[in-house]
Structure 1
Amino acid sequence: MKPLNVGLVADPAAPTDVARRMGLDPTNGEGHDPWDVELVSEAFTTGSEDVDAAVARLRDHAREHDWDIVVGLTELPLRDDDGRYLLVEADTQGRTAVLSLPALGGIRTHARARRAVHALLRGLADPSSQDPHRKPLPRRSGRWRLLVGMVLANRPWLLVPGLKSALVAALTTGAIATINSTVWLLAGSLSIWRLVVAMIASLALIVGWLVIDGELWDRPDDDSPEARQRSRLYNTSTVLTLTAGALICYLALYVVNLAWGLFVLDPSIMGGYLQVSMTYRDLFLLAWFVASAATVGGALGSGFESDEAIRAAAYSKREEERRSRLADERS
């Protein structure tokens, strides 16, 4: 039996990694025609509202490569004409489909993507399949699911090495502040809610600095509601990604400062020097306060970063790269 020629077109970076690790079974299971899968890593999408253009571009790829079926994997959100976010957009007659990876929710993406692509290929191979033309997400829960998927696709934990100079500056600030008697007195005078406010303010400062310095804020291409909604979605995912990355750095600073304080300081001795009663509880509060102060100091150093991990946190920047690749291909 002659196998079906299947084209798997994936956007560069994360979608290509998902496609390569998919490990599609060439036998397609019992009772189904076998398939021969060819993977192409190439930008084929240009925006969340341009689903039809993406499907048309995939059909062009199918004709060029002589594929029987083509499925595209994108990290962009897909929307229909009613503004609903989609998991899948499919053209059953043209045997073409697009799968939005963020709509999978960001949890166990590889396994979910593999199952989704299997179902799409079998549905497109069988004209009598009842597989729907498109799969919209629920309006409320679907939007949150998509947003979570976009944030996790940004991999905020990879921001930590991208903020290496900021972390060095913060660790230096924290090491000095931990053994400063004035800082001990100041930390001891702060209530819990003030420490919480200081933490939130420090995280907001470094996130704001990264957005401004890296020019990560996305602006609509035009005044259409679709463009404005896309920018809001991109900006929300960028801010959440940067916040998650900054919070990871903050927790790391707290742990390092606490370990340093426990190693070199004795609260009772420091309390005797300051003529106040101090316990290890004060040391934990000190490490909390120092982490906030060090984060503020580290934010000033983050502007000198050139690591692409920071810019990769913004969907708008990847969208610019995607558009640039498509423009180069057309020229």
Structure 2
Amino acid sequence: MTDSDLHRGEIVVGLVATPPDHPARITARLAAELADLLAEQVDSGVRWTVRQGWGEVAPHRDGGAEALLDDLARRRTDDHWHVAICLTDLPLQTGRTPLIAQISTRRRAALVSLPALGLSQLGTVRAAVPHLVGALLADAPGPPHPPGRWAPADLPSRVTVIKRVIGEDDAGELRYVASRRTGRARLLTGMVRANRPGRALLGLSKLLVGAFGTAAIALTNSTIWRMGDALGGLRLTIVMLSALTGLVAWLIIAHDLWEKPDRDTPAELARMFNLGTILTLALATAASYVVLSLGTLLAAALLIDTSVLEQTLQRPAHATDYLALAWIISSLATVGGAIGSGLEDEETVRTAAYGHHPEPDRAGEGR
């Protein structure tokens, strides 16, 4: 494709997901409707063709947005696209402010950092990408729509999470950033979503099985019944938090999930990766704890007769006693489950690390 194709009524837009994990799912959903969005919002008088592609499984971390845009520009030229848009789950920043998007009219390429969008990523991408495409084409030779209609500086009015624009319209190299205070919280939320805590939970199935085995043994120990009665809510909470914290730390250490700053990974990016990993594991282990507690409570209610519990506690038993029993047993069993986590498949556990991206099946690339 060449610039003269603009006059013949076809514009090819390339969508690149890098790494091809979470961004690929967003890209696939966006590609299915992008042509209609472009016809509606940019120009209905041309034929829009949307091509999908996957970027590197492990994109360069040290170059930030500029390295991604350079790679994207080469991909656009090689694949004969008019413009190219990259969706990435790298947590990009300008200084210490989250970077949401960057546009380069010189390279006819733009990128969107999905984590910076928080939870509502697909909806925000739907609003942003047509504008980015229109802005990139505004300065192209022989544009099929009125020049100046898609001023790059207008994007904040369409995407509410963008708070500032850095750069000059004339240069065509603009960065769209979030609020420093709320933007970092949204960035971490988006990182956790991209990391798929549900996948981490399913991947730790052996941990949960080991914890249930430990709970079954502890359920028969009357000494633990008395401990649950004696500790009280505050100390039971401390035991629970200690067990969950220890489990997360064990998973990180045992499976080498901690990112260390090096030549390719700046210290700030390593910190963001580690925060994303910790939060993902915390959610996954907390969910497994809830499942374990409910299972233990049900088993205690079925197996331990009230009269037996009253004889051990030497007082009338109440529903709260069963809750306390399930609480302490679940906390102790969580520690036992850490042993089971050592038996998990290494690749399965490492998917919880934010900087790790498994090699995908590339059969659908280029459609």
TM-score by length of 2: 0.81
Q: CA deviation at 1:274?
A: 5.1
The one-character-per-residue Cα deviations of 1:55-108 (angstroms, maximum 9, x if unpaired) are 01111011101110000111101223x443211011023221011010110x23
Q: Which residue of 1 aligns with 2:226?
A: 185
Corresponding letter in the other structure for 2:225: W
Residue matched to 2:142: none
Q: Distance in 1 between matches of 2:352 and 2:60?
A: 18
Q: Which amino acid aligns with 1:62?
A: R
Q: CA deviation at 1:48?
A: 6.3
CA contact (8 A) 1:181 1:274 kept: no
- Deviations for 1:18-69, whole angstroms, at most 9, x for unmatched residues? 1111123424234604320110112183116521111011110111011100
* Matching residue of 1:26: 35
Q: How does 1:1-331 map to 2 (within 5 A)?
A: 2-11=9-18, 12-22=20-30, 23-27=32-36, 28-30=38-40, 32=43, 33-43=46-56, 45-47=59-61, 49-80=63-94, 82-105=95-118, 107-127=119-139, 128=148, 129-132=150-153, 133-222=174-263, 227-273=266-312, 275-306=314-345, 308-318=347-357
1:180 to partner: Cα distance: 2.0
Note if contact 2:206-2:340 (Cα within 8 Å) is conserved in structure 1.
Answer: yes
Structure 1 segments, 4+ long, off by >4 Å, are none
SS in 1 for 2:35: coil
Secondary structure of the corresponding residue to residue 13 of structure 2: strand
55 and 90 in structure 1: CA distance in 2 versus 1, 3 angstrom threshold: same
Matched residues in 1 for 2:129 and 2:47: separation? 15
How far apart, in 1, do the equivalents of 2:223 and 2:315 lie?
Answer: 13
Structure 2: how far apart are the matches of 1:279 and 1:155? 39
1:176-231 Cα deviation digits (max 9, x unpaired) = 21232111111111111110000001001110110001101111114x9x811111
Report % sequence identity: 34
Q: How many angstroms apart in 1 are the aligned matches of 2:322 and 2:338?
A: 24
Shift of 1:268: 3.2
Alpha-carbon offset, residue 321 of structure 1: 7.2
8 Å contact from structure 1 (residues 24, 118) kept in 2: no
Instruction: Quote the offset at 1:309 in angstroms.
Output: 4.0
Residues matched between the structures, number: 318
For 2:112, the aligned partner's letter is L
CA distance in structure 1 between the aligned counterparts of 2:74 and 2:308, rounded to whole angstroms: 75
Whole-angstrom distance in 1 between the partners of 2:341 and 2:175: 43
Q: CA separation of 1:201/1:188 partners in 2, compared to 1, >3 Å: closer, same or farther? A: same
Letter in 2 for 1:85: P
Q: How far 1:144 sits from its partner (Å)?
A: 1.1
Gaps of 5+ in 1: 323-331
The answer (yes or no) to whether the contact 2:254–2:342 under 8 Å persists in 1 is yes
Distance between the aligned counterparts of 1:37 and 1:120, measured in 2? 14
> SS of 1:94's equivalent?
coil
